[in-house]
Structure 1
């Protein structure tokens, strides 16, 4: 009786700066020896056999194993993986495409978009240009197809998908296309997720376990003033008004300025930080004098602090802002003031915090508690 052939899953990956066909299969001695004798290389770190794509084609690989195993090559033949995965986005663009996208960047800059929006829109349009069939004109179906073949396999967020549709609307206007796309028809609906919120004790513990003075100031400021992480790193020394206990947030989201209060209890911490680090331009600076602190660094040390505080919730710097707003609401602050403190344009955005404050939910009698209470009362009567 002929032995059942093993299945080998083949993937196209980058390994040691090389593009390779990676082979994954359950250990079988004869198959392992065949790989070894056929010129495959073994990677101890990735626990796989592999062939550099410069040494063998996919057809040659299939021929090599046709009598030895069943090759599962769907990871290699997926359209998006056929692109030069070893190259960066910029390296995949032709010189003509780069010039074209630079002109698009200038066009967007003229619309006075923020630096973050400029980068996001140009990146999303560049991806579309790279993956688009050159012989096919831009139409609604090609825009949808790009989302299906790129965003869905990558499990990109709904927010990214919506930004892509918005970027394409601006791109079509830039190239004077006759095509008009309906944003609401093409863009997926926004997620209606409720934000994670820290308890009062968790906030205090998070600050307590953070020993680094600069890191502690960052956490305290984001929470006590309801700052976005981008607003924190953009704060300059001149935006700090110690006498009035205020911070001036300039050009926040939507290019709106606002004043936010500084908590009395962190003023000594802030004085200590300013005397110790003596920042020159920005309130929170990186290693290089006069340069902004990195958002990635904030996320990294916040993650470490959460681990030390034994907080298992999924936390980001924005969670501190959510917690600030929720705690204000729970303490009886009018929703209109919270809207102004957070810099929200629409009250609907602020109203989400009414769904996560605990007092209202705690007032509701759980039906299971009610049943048990009724049962206990019945026993007492009997």
Structure 2
């Protein structure tokens, strides 16, 4: 008879969860079980509430990690054990709404100028030019470059959806230069093993190095280039609808966050303090 862990993994696979999500959910349930030193099948609502509250009160995990724990336990008890999950008794914690950091166009250019390795430049420029997630850039194939229609094909992205994004003239130029020098075969950006794509961690490291050389001290990551793509497009007048499609967002609510990041309209707003001097006294 399969173990509870094997049953949960089977259920996760059956519902099409990504390998990363499967691993995270299984790890969460394992941590929960170890905390009490019992099989999770012997634990219930009281233990779940106490454990989630402990994580919140001790701040040993981020709000995002706690929400992942909540989702994992909910999946385990509802799907694997077939129990009823009492949403009122076990409420999901609210995650603080924080705006992502963005870089100015000059700062983005500074990062690219700091890169001397043609492969590194091609990767980071492609992420910014097309608004890619780091995993999407890592898994690009040479065949995904459609220079005829000037678009990039992103295969099986988040939510297992294919989509197309922009292939800018400058992006195509740097990719052609990179291809002439490195001659990638299947994977556009292969790792040490040419038969495997570059790891996302490697891309993160090259961004951190470029950021340091460029003298940028903001708390930003390689994913920030995706935020910059959306914000800079919005500032240039691109509609939020088109940006949503390019980013591959299912809900417009996710894309609307960039409305709070753009400075285009704010620059034209005059403070009421400045208007005081316009008042003419008799």
State whether TM-score is above 0.5. Answer: yes
Query: Which whole-Å CA distance do the structure 1 matches of 2:181 and 2:103 have between them?
Result: 30
Give the structure, 1 or 2, with the largest relative contact order (CA under 8 Å, sep 6 or more). 2
Query: Which whole-Å CA distance do the structure 2 matches of 1:247 and 1:167 have between them?
Result: 34
Residue ranges of structure 1 left out of the alignment (5+ in a row): 1-95
1:213 is the counterpart of 2:118: yes
Report what 1:123 is aligned to.
27
Answer whether contact 1:217 1:270 (CA < 8 A) is retained. yes
Matched residue of 1:358: which SS?
Answer: coil
Report what 1:190 is aligned to.
95
Pairing partner for 1:260 from 140, 165, 168: 165
Report what 1:345 is aligned to.
250
Answer whether contact 1:169 1:181 (CA < 8 A) is retained. no
Query: Which whole-Å CA distance do the structure 1 matches of 2:83 and 2:185 have between them?
Result: 51
Q: Which structure carries more strand by proportion?
A: 1
Report what 2:260 is aligned to.
355
Give the greater-gyration-radius structure (CA). Answer: 1
Query: Which whole-Å CA distance do the structure 1 matches of 2:7 and 2:115 have between them?
Result: 46
Residue ranges of structure 2 left out of the alignment (5+ in a row): none
Query: Which whole-Å CA distance do the structure 2 matches of 1:249 and 1:194 have between them?
Result: 26
Report what 2:198 is aligned to.
293
Deviation at 1:148, TM superposition (A): 3.5
Query: Which whole-Å CA distance do the structure 1 matches of 2:44 and 2:173 have between them?
Result: 60
Query: Structure 2 length as normaliser, TM-score?
Result: 0.91
Report what 2:18 is aligned to.
114
Report what 1:243 is aligned to.
148
Query: Structure 1 length as normaliser, TM-score?
Result: 0.68
Pairing partner for 2:86 from 168, 181, 199: 181
Alignment of 1:1-382 (within 5 A): 99-134=3-38, 137-150=42-55, 152-153=57-58, 155-182=60-87, 185-370=90-275, 373=277
Query: Which whole-Å CA distance do the structure 2 matches of 1:183 and 1:238 have between them?
Result: 50
Answer whether contact 1:233 1:292 (CA < 8 A) is retained. yes
Query: Which whole-Å CA distance do the structure 2 matches of 1:227 and 1:161 have between them?
Result: 26
Answer whether contact 1:247 1:259 (CA < 8 A) is retained. yes
